[in-house]
Amino acid sequence: MVDEFEFFRKVRAYYNNVPFLVQFTYRLSHRVDKAVTARGSFSCRVNPHTQIVEYELDLKSDKISRPHSEQSSFLFSSIYEEIPAQTIEMKQFLIQSLRYPLPISYDWQAFITSGAEDAINVQTIQQLFKKWRLKGVEGQLIDSMLKVKQVLLQWQL
């Protein structure tokens, strides 16, 4: 059994800046996707007043760019707007909040790691990327068809 102050202290010590990788693709041209990697880390904060553990992530991708291209066929034509070199970057993004039960007589490390695996996986990162729009040459928002392939949490405990 762990008291609440020790839980607070250990979560901050062990689960601060835990690294992860996101491998994803974006549409380069007609039927051609380009693979990109994003590096991130997540941290846990404990709010003892509300008994909530908050998961925040930081994420920065490699450069993404695409030249303007048009593809025409008999049935349809595709136009892909130019994307100047840019990155996807998120800072201190709150991805999940979990209420922790008291007293802490359970495996608190398993509670934290399962919460992180629920919060940071292919489906949740894909939902974040669906909302993300890259900017075109004139500042217009472009859907570059981001598709998350894999998320790797790097536990080092």
pLDDT of residue 103: 84
Q: Judging by beta carbons within 10 Å of its beta carbon (0-12, 13-18, 19+), is residue 121 exposed, middle or buried? A: middle
The total number of structural domains in the chain stands at 1
What would the 3-class secondary structure string for 107-130 be?
Answer: CHHHHHHHHHHHHCCHHHHHHHHH
Q: Name, in order, each residue with C-beta under 8 angstroms of 36's C-beta and a sequence gap of 6 or more.
A: 23, 24, 25, 26, 61, 62, 64
pLDDT value, residue 121: 92
Give residue 134's domain range: 4-153
pLDDT at residue 156 greater than cutoff 70: no
Above 80 in pLDDT, residue 2?
Answer: no
Amino acid letter, residue 35? A
Instruction: Write out pLDDT tens, residues 3-60.
Output: 788 888 888 888 888 899 999 998 877 778 889 999 999 999 888 888 999 999 999 9
Q: How far apart are CA 32 and CA 147, in angstroms?
A: 13
pLDDT reading at 63 higher than 90: yes
Which residues does 111 contact at the CB level (< 8 Å), separation at least 6? 98, 100
The average confidence (pLDDT) of the chain is 86
For the cut 70, the answer to whether the pLDDT of residue 74 exceeds it is: no
Q: What pLDDT was estimated at residue 6?
A: 85
Asked if residues 53 and 12 have their Cβ atoms less than 8 Å apart, the reply is no
Element (H, E) at 99: strand 89-99
Q: How far apart are CA 26 and CA 148, in angstroms?
A: 9
pTM over 0.85? The answer is no
Tens of pLDDT, residues 131-141 = 888 888 888 88
Q: Residue 59: what pLDDT?
A: 93
